[in-house]
Structure 1
Amino acid sequence: MTWLKWGLAGLVGLGVLWAALSVYGGWRWQQRTAGLVSDLAAARSPLRVSRYDPAVLVDLPPPVQRFFKAALTPGQPLVTGVSLAHDGTFNMGEASDNWKVFASQQEVETSRPGFVWNGTIRMAPGVPVRVHDAYVAGEGVLLPAILGLFKLTEMRGRGAIAQGEAMRWLAEAAWYPTALLPGQGVTWSPIDDRSALATLTDGDVTISLTFRFGADDLIAGVRAEARGRTVVGAVVPTPWEGRWSDYQRQGGMLVPMTGEVAWVLPEGEKPYWRGRVTALSYRFAD
């Protein structure tokens, strides 16, 4: 039975080592997250105006005007930043679906546009993959790591990765809708009575998304004809869509509490994120 005792001792030792790596990885990850959030705050710039005036809507496409009138309260302060928490499921599969539970925290700045998403995906009991997805000072960041220590990939910089992350910031502006107002860095072009094109320029990054508005005049979905999708370490331009629902009043604004995003592949849609907001806190202009 000596072999059995040694085997059990080895398993216990591996368990202790794994637990220690998990704790250390969590600590290291917190340091990385704090650094990104600090860089995000350092890039902040002041807003030109502090309150919403419906008079600024006069030259916007009709569906965009209706959206602001439905979502905002006249005279309310503009959003400067947001802290959010989410939970939901993330599809880790390529050839077939493989949905895993995630939880995340996110910090957003509206001027200069940027965000830091800090997520934890439970791949298996005791095996978390920690993920940074961010747009900070004109650079995109994508870093998933097992336990926060063992990197699965790492992408950071300008070009396609920055454009893709800027698209995410713009798509998620339904959570901070005053950032879509005239004079806040986004311009609008008409498409039809239920959709319009939003264009954001931030430094050398310029991106556009089609916004679709529902019968309630709120943002029902967004679409990019070519957003960077990571496939085997390469970034491949791919159509992408997001959908928002369950609007509730928060901070004087109507914002969505649930959403889904998907890649639009030749064989059909491939959803990969389904989540809901579990906590939401705004910072407003004085």
Structure 2
Amino acid sequence: MLWIVIVLIALAILVVYLAIPGGKLWKQYLTDVKISLIETNRQRSAQSLFTEDYVAKLPTLIRQHIINGGYLGKPFMNNMLIYFHNTKFRMSAGKTPIKIKFMQVNFVSRPDRHAFLTGRIAGIPLQAKDSMLDGFGSMTGVLAKLFQLFRSTGSEMDQGQLITALADAVYMPSLFLQEYVSWSVVDDHTVEGEITWKSVSAKGRFTFDNNGNIIRFDTNDRYMDQNGKGSLLVPWYVTYSDYKEQNGYRQPGSVSVNWMLPDGDDTYFVSDHIEVHYSINEANL
């Protein structure tokens, strides 16, 4: 009987451990965010408000997106905390999507970004950290807060994280004004941005509707993992829709993230409830 009691106690401890938020990866995430907060606060922009003069150097379509969003006359944000609620995520093409919680913090003076995902696979907690810290990109996944499923680093990850930071700037347009981003006009509804940091560059195209709202971002500069057999450049795009008012700004309420595959598009991330906070500090996490 004693061994049964021991097993039951061990199982109870395991259940409690898995139910408690946190873990080693979460602690590393918070450490990375803190590093970015400290470093970017030292380099923060002297610009205090979005003004017509300050955005005048941007392409007309980008300026219109800023005007439509209600940013003119508002504080110039140095970072952004964004929560994606009601989110579904597909681990890989053909897999069944799972419900997740997803948050990220993005920065302006340098294009750091730190995203954190939590979910469950067969009832077991899944965590993933998706980061770029001063040009170094990485992606790490763990199961049950202990067992590492994957870890990706290297130049391909650096480039992928960099172009994702540009796509994220739909919600944080102060990044559009940084010296490490340059622009070219493609046509009446499209502009191309190039983002460069630590000798790594990537390009992406923003598509606008007739009202000057960004509705899509496309890039050919993002790598897709080939089931552990290396990675390949695969066309990647984000769609933005359901613009709505939030905290005095007009922003997309829904996003989907997609790969363009030979057999059809793979939509692997969808969220229709997005919550944005600007110029946060460590206490906000």
Work out whether the TM-score is over 0.5: yes
CA drift of 1:80 comes to 0.6
For the 8 Å contact 1:262–1:269, the answer to whether it is kept is yes
What aligned pairs does 1:268-283 form with structure 2 within 5 A after superposition? Answer: 268-283=264-279
Which moves more between the two structures, 230-239 or 69-78? 69-78
Give yes or no for the alignment of 1:228 onto 2:223.
Answer: yes
Q: Which residue, 168, 175, 180 being the options, matches 2:176?
A: 180
CA change 1:278–1:212 in 2 (3 A) is closer
For the 8 Å contact 2:189–2:209, the answer to whether it is kept is yes
Identity, % of aligned positions: 21
2:249 corresponds to: 253
CA drift of 1:16 comes to 2.8
2:213 corresponds to: 218
Which amino acid in 1 is paired with 2:44? P
Normalising by structure 1, report the TM-score.
0.87
2:67 corresponds to: 69
For the 8 Å contact 2:159–2:221, the answer to whether it is kept is no
CA drift of 1:248 comes to 2.4
Q: Distance in 2 between matches of 1:10 and 1:93?
A: 39
Which moves more between the two structures, 131-140 or 43-52? 43-52
Which amino acid in 1 is paired with 2:199? D
CA drift of 1:55 comes to 2.7
CA change 1:147–1:51 in 2 (3 A) is same
Which moves more between the two structures, 141-150 or 31-40? 31-40
CA drift of 1:170 comes to 0.8
Secondary structure at 2:23 match in 1: helix
Q: Which residue, 128, 131, 137 being the options, matches 2:125?
A: 128
Gaps of 5+ in 1: none
Q: Which residue, 112, 115, 120 being the options, matches 2:113?
A: 115
CA drift of 1:19 comes to 2.0
Which amino acid in 2 is paired with 1:67? H
CA drift of 1:11 comes to 6.7
Aligned residues: 276
1:90 corresponds to: 89
Q: Distance in 2 between matches of 1:269 and 1:212?
A: 18
Which amino acid in 2 is paired with 1:172? D
Gaps of 5+ in 2: 281-285
Q: Which residue, 160, 163, 167 being the options, matches 2:163?
A: 167
CA drift of 1:279 comes to 3.2
CA drift of 1:69 comes to 2.6
Which amino acid in 2 is paired with 1:52? F
Secondary structure at 1:222 match in 2: strand
Per-residue CA deviations over 1:116-173 (Å, capped at 9, x if unaligned) read: 1111022122x1110101111111110010022111111234x110110111111011
Secondary structure at 2:36 match in 1: helix
Which amino acid in 2 is paired with 1:91? R
Q: As a proportion of its length, which structure holds more strand?
A: 1
Which moves more between the two structures, 78-87 or 256-265? 78-87
RMSD: 2.5
Per-residue CA deviations over 1:182-223 (Å, capped at 9, x if unaligned) read: x45322101010011011112222111100011221110100
Q: Distance in 2 between matches of 1:105 and 1:58?
A: 32
CA drift of 1:260 comes to 0.3
Q: Distance in 2 between matches of 1:91 and 1:56?
A: 40
Normalising by structure 2, report the TM-score.
0.87
Q: Distance in 2 between matches of 1:78 and 1:223?
A: 26
1:39 corresponds to: 35
CA change 1:53–1:184 in 2 (3 A) is farther
Which amino acid in 2 is paired with 1:178? S
